[in-house]
Each structure stands twice: as C-alpha cells, then as structure tokens.
Homo-oligomer: A and B are copies of this chain.
Amino acid sequence: MQGTVAQPRAAIVSVGNELLYGETVDTNAAWLGRWLGELGITVVRRFTVGDRRADIDEALERALEAADLVILSGGLGPTPDDLTKSVVADHFGLGLVVVDSVVRRLEEHFRAGGYDEVPPLSLGQAELPEGAIPLRNPSGTAPGILLSRDRARIVLLPGVPHELRDIAAGDLADELDAWLGPESRHRAHHRVIHTTGLAETSLAQRLEPRLQALGREMTGGVDLAYLPDLRGVDLRFTLAGGTAQEAAERFDRLLGALDDVLGPWRFEGESGDIADALSVALRARGWRLAVAESCTGGLVGKRLTDRPGASDVFVGGVIAYDDAVKVDLLGVDRERLERDGAVSEAVARQLAKGVAERLGVETGVGVTGVAGPGGGSDEKPVGTVWISTAVQGDVEVTLHRFAGDREAVRERAAQAALASLYRRLTATSGSD
C-alpha cells in the first residue's frame, strides 16, 4: 500500500449469528475501535449481521459507502457456514485463487500437529480473492486477508479474539502504516498514569487548573482522559502526530510539572494493579505482609495472590469475619470490642498489629467495616470502613466512607487497604 490518506475513516462488519443472539459479546469490535483510534483512524459505523450471504453483502456495501477502511471479522473458518471470504470475492467479481505461501504455512501447521497432510477442508483456507494479500495468523489456520480496491482497503479477520489481535498487531499494522504514510499526523501516542484514592472529580479539580496554568507550550495537543473504575482512576494522556521519542519527551516534561498535584495518589507498576506495586515495594525492603480481614472476607488476600509474584512477601493472614475470631486468633480485646463495636478505630488498630505480631512479619493490614446492604446505623452507615496498617509495630488507622453497593464497598476497601500500606512504604523510602 502507498500514499497518504487524509482523514481515514473505518467501518467494522461483525459476522456471526452468535453475536445477534447475544451468546457472544462483541469484544472484537470494541478492541478494534480502540486500536484503530490509536493509529489515528476513526470508526464511524459498525454493522452486525448473521451468517447469511445477502446480509453480509449488504453490510459490506453500506460500510464501503461510509468508510475508506472496512474490517470484517468472523466467518473465516473452514466450515460451510463461514461465508465472509466468498461474499467479499463475489461482491467485487473476483475469483478465489490458491496462494502458495498460505499452503506452505498450513502444511507446517499441520505437520507440527502430527498430520501427514493438510485436511482437505482446511486447504480451502489457502484460497484468497484474486489480488488479495494474506496477513499472517501466528496462532491459527485462517490467515487475515487484505484487499485493495481503488482508495478503499478491505480487511478480513477471523473472529477468534486472540487471532484477530495477533494479526492486527502484526502484518495488518505494517500494512496500515504504509497506507497512512510514514509521517502520519493522526497517529496517537499514549502515556497511562495509575492513581488510586481520589475520585475522578477530585482528581480533575486538582489537575485542570494546573494544566490551564502550564500553558500551551506544555499542554498543546495533549488530550487527557479520566478512566475510573472501582479501584481507582487511570489518567490517559494522548498526543497525536510526531515520533514516539518526541511524544515520550513531551510526556516526561508534562508529568514532571504535575508531580506535586498527583502526589501520593499516583502509583507505579506496569500492570496497574496496586497489589503488584505493593509486592514490589515490600520486596525492595525484604519485608513480609499479613492481613486481617473482616468485611472484605478474604478479598485482600485474594488480590495479593491473584498473580504469582506475591508469594515471597505475602504469608497469609486471618479472615476474622466473626467477632470471636478477632478475639481468639488476633488478640483483639473483648471488652473494647463490645464497647466500641467491631467497626471501630480500636479494633482496626488491633487487627493489623495483631496479625503482624501473631505471624511474626514486619507489616500488617487490617480492614473492618460495614459492607451492607444491612448492618448500617446513623453513626456507622453502610460504607463505613476502618483501615489499619502496621509497619514494624507502628500502627496507623484511617476512617473511610465508601459509596456504592456491597461489591463496590468491598472492592474499594480492599484497594484502599493495599494502597495505604504502599504509601507508607514508598513515602518512608523517600522515593516519590
């Protein structure tokens, strides 16, 4: 492909009865929308049709009316209900021809699987519309297909999500690069910053005046998106055009100027998971962690063990759901518990301290609160959560009021517990 496209527009055609009937959620179309957006290509229309020739053909026609780039996904398999390739060929009056490079790839694939030859049904996957280019599928047998007609590009991708993504990130990305031209002013560069502990609006109230004050030299051309979920808010900075190197330098300068307003809410870590960031911070000090959970019921432990990385820093802990467990296993004072209630500063303090001492580790985290929907009172409404952290015997306790239903309160409480200890460790280490 060659030449530069002024303002590229894409349409997506998703093929499959299972999509219409709702048996499958179309995550491919959403993924393609984000991926194309990063290349500076705007998706302007999506069509979803079943496995019927006439319906696929009509959607292709409409898509070509609306866009320069049409991506069809699904219906590329070897069985008779896979119609997409044949419909596209017929639409443009093209025959299907066997492409040798695809035959060889199929032979390799099936030999590696212990077959002597390619099964006849699968050999059909080497047939492409005349003039089309195969796009390598590293993980499956159906190649992607690229067809150029005048200024338009038509791309066929298999519906299996990881195959679609592998082809897109591989051969298709190269072809689209060539199509968009090397100096594309549309290409988007991103930098994502993870934060936790501040709501989207509070973050914006801190960030937006600073961005205003920094002026156009610093912020010109940079878009900022707030991406919130129950665990925190990711900040996605986007800059269109230029090289990756230039963008990285712009992002570095801008984030340097935002450092103090993002302050303690920002955390490091590629995965964006505060549990990973906490594991790294503990490992750096050679410290271990134990948890004492009441209202989260095991969620903090689950989060720490979701990935294998925490096994050398996380020893375990106690799910102290019932008050008797708090007293028996963690040494919480029974009189204090009866006087102040389980959701109280004093009990929270004893949870973190008790579990760290009992298990003989340097740090502990405690959580006790009202997750709801029942159990709230005027004084301690649903969402009231005390979080405690113990670091070498020194305990800090904070009171939170989390919004949302039971799941939201528990997710936010677990996140805040992990973040509280992370902040203590990174603040005292002098970094950030």
Interface positions of A (Cβ within 8 A of B): 19-27, 29-35, 37, 42-50, 55, 62, 290-291, 293, 295-302, 304-308, 311, 314-322, 324-325, 328-329, 358-360, 371-375, 406-407, 410
Contacts and interface: CB of A to CB of B under 8 A. Distances in A.
Contact of A325 (B62, B359, B373): B359
Contacts of A299: 298, 302
Contact of A26 (B30, B45, B305, B311): B30
Contact of A315 (B25, B304, B325): B325
A287 to B, nearest CB: 14
A296 B312 CA distance: 16
Contacts of A325: 290, 315-317, 359
A308 B359 CA distance: 29
A49 B45 contact: yes
A305 B293 CA distance: 11
A370 to B, nearest CB: 11
A311 B316 contact: no
A375 B305 CA distance: 14
Contacts of A305: 295-298, 321, 371, 410
A321 B279 CA distance: 15
* A-B pairs, 4 with minimum CB distance: A298-B301, A22-B33, A297-B305, A298-B298
Given A298-B300, A319-B317, A359-B325, A308 B46 contact: no
A408 to B, nearest CB: 12
Contacts of A24: 30
A47 B302 CA distance: 40
The A contact surface, by secondary structure, is mixed
Given A298-B299, A321-B301, A20 B34 contact: no
A309 to B, nearest CB: 10
Contacts of A21: 33-34, 37, 42-43
A315 B322 contact: yes
A50 B299 CA distance: 39
A35 B20 CA distance: 11
Given A21-B43, A298-B299, A298-B302, 18 more contacts: A19-B30, A22-B29, A24-B30, A29-B48, A44-B55, A47-B48, A290-B325, A296-B302, A296-B305, A298-B301, A306-B406, A306-B407, A316-B320, A316-B325, A317-B319, A317-B325, A328-B358, A329-B358
A123 B358 CA distance: 60
Contacts of A48: 29, 45-48
A45 B34 contact: no
A252 B117 CA distance: 48
A35 to B, nearest CB: 8
A42 to B, nearest CB: 8
A418 to B, nearest CB: 13
Contact of A46 (B19, B301, B319, B375): B19
B44 A47 contact: no
Nearest to A307: B406
A30 to B, nearest CB: 4
A223 B137 CA distance: 35
A212 to B, nearest CB: 23
Contacts of A62: 62
Contacts of A314: 297, 321-322
Contacts of A371: 305, 308
A318 B319 contact: yes
A317 B297 CA distance: 9
